[in-house]
Amino acid sequence: MANNPLKPLIKGMFGMVAVTGIALVIHSGWQSVLEEARRNEKASQAAEARRKEWRREQEAAELKLSQRRKDDELRLTLDRARGHETQAAIQAKKRPVDVGAAFVDVRRRAESGDPNAQNLLGRIYLRGMDDVLSVNPSTFGLSYYAPAASALTGEKEFARSSDVIRFVNMPQIPANPKEAARWFERAAQQGHREAQSNLAQLFHQDLPDPVAGYRWVLLAAGPAILQEEQQLESHTPAWLKLTREDLLARLTPAQKAEAERQAKNWKPTKEHR
């Protein structure tokens, strides 16, 4: 069989077709890759643009919130200033009571021998003036222990009258248990039973001396001696009984006997005024 002279040509044509097909496939694939890369790039750019926009919105929101907080703080400051001015105007209309002068008068009477003034002075020194009467200068808030504050200022119905009083010249008197004991003892020696109870409490807690404390708690439970004793604390019989038992538990038999001997031989000593 004779060779077909066109066979090489046909093979060459098929080869060219195959190569062209492969080239087209490769080109098509490459185009797809490029197109996918462009889409990814656009998507990335769009995402970055969205992130930038979100950050701008967040920064704007934070700036707005910060400004709102500053405005709120300013309004609160102004409101407080206006409230303080209003309170100051209200306070200016109230009746002034000079607490410093009242304290000086109480001390003068205590030094001259007044047992009620001595007991009150002891009560002031026991926990400090702030426990008896104090005023917050920024809010004008008032705190007080009514019985002692009433005795100090002379305002008989203190809880009611405190709403119409402006306290001025407040003395700064810190707690001083030793000074309190000195004034309580002067009143107690004159027969002031509450001062005797206060001494028992002091010697039981702040200035531990169970013998002296037991002696005074025994005397405090005795009959009244002063006709016009001013009461500031509520030392009930139950309180005296509990304090006596607590002190007694800390005494030796000899100490108990000595304290009872002292209480039995004790006699009130009036201070001359």
Alpha-carbon span 22 to 26, nearest angstrom: 6
DSSP for residue 164: G
Q: Six-digit token pair at 71?
A: 């405005």
Averaged confidence pLDDT in the chain: 83
Q: Is the pLDDT of residue 78 over 60?
A: no
CB of 149 within 8 A of CB of 161?
A: no
Residues in Cβ contact with 242 at an 8 Å cutoff, skipping those fewer than 6 apart? none
Copy the structure tokens of residue 111.
Answer: 């030094």
Q: Tens of pLDDT along 166-225?
A: 888 889 999 999 999 999 999 999 999 999 999 999 999 888 899 999 999 999 988 888
Distance in angstroms (rounded) separating the CA atoms of residues 141 and 194 = 30
Model confidence at 35, pLDDT cuts 50, 70, 90, reads confident
Helices 115-127/146-153 angle, 10° precision: 130
Query: By the 8 A CB rule, do 153 and 99 touch?
Result: yes
User: What is the CA angle 100-101-102, rounded to 5?
Assistant: 90
The pLDDT value given to residue 83: 60
Answer for the pair 121, 107: CB distance below 8 angstroms, yes or no: yes
Strands 133-135 and 95-98: unpaired
pLDDT of residue 82: 58
Instruction: Read off the pLDDT of each residue in 154-158 and give the average, rounded to a whole number.
Output: 80
Q: Helical H runs in 2-157? A: 7-93, 99-111, 115-127, 129-132, 146-153
Taking residue 191's Cβ as centre, other Cβ atoms within 10 Å add up to: 21
pTM confidence score: 0.67
**Cβ–Cβ < 8 Å for 112, 180:** no
* The pLDDT of residue 177: 95
Contacts (Cβ under 8 Å, ≥6 apart) of 66: none
Q: Identify the residue with better confidence: 177 or 62.
A: 177
> Is 199:181 a contact under the CB 8 Å cutoff?
yes
The more confidently predicted of residues 242 and 81 is 242
SS3 59: helix
Q: Quickly state the pLDDT bin for 141 (edges 50, 70, 90).
A: confident
Model confidence at 262: pLDDT above 70: yes
Band the pLDDT of 160: cuts 50, 70, 90.
confident
18 vs 128, more confident: 128
Q: Per DSSP, what are the bridge partners of residue 133?
A: 144
DSSP-assigned letters across all residues of 76-114: HHHHHHHHHHHHHHHHHHSEEEEHHHHHHHHHHHHHTT-
104: Cβ–Cβ under 8 A, 6 or more apart, which residues?
Answer: none
Q: How many CB atoms lie within 10 A of CB 115?
A: 28
Q: Please give the pLDDT value at position 31.
A: 73
| DSSP classification of residue 162 | G
Q: What is the pLDDT of residue 117?
A: 96
How far, in Å, CA of 44 to CA of 32, rounded?
A: 18
pLDDT score of 74 = 58
**Least confident span in 135-144, 178-187, 212-221, 232-241:** 135-144
> For 96-111, how does the pLDDT look when each residue is reduced to its tens digit (9 = 90+)?
889 999 999 999 999 9
Q: Return d(Cα 235, Cα 119) in angstroms, integer.
A: 14
The band of 131, judged by pLDDT with boundaries at 50, 70 and 90, is: very high
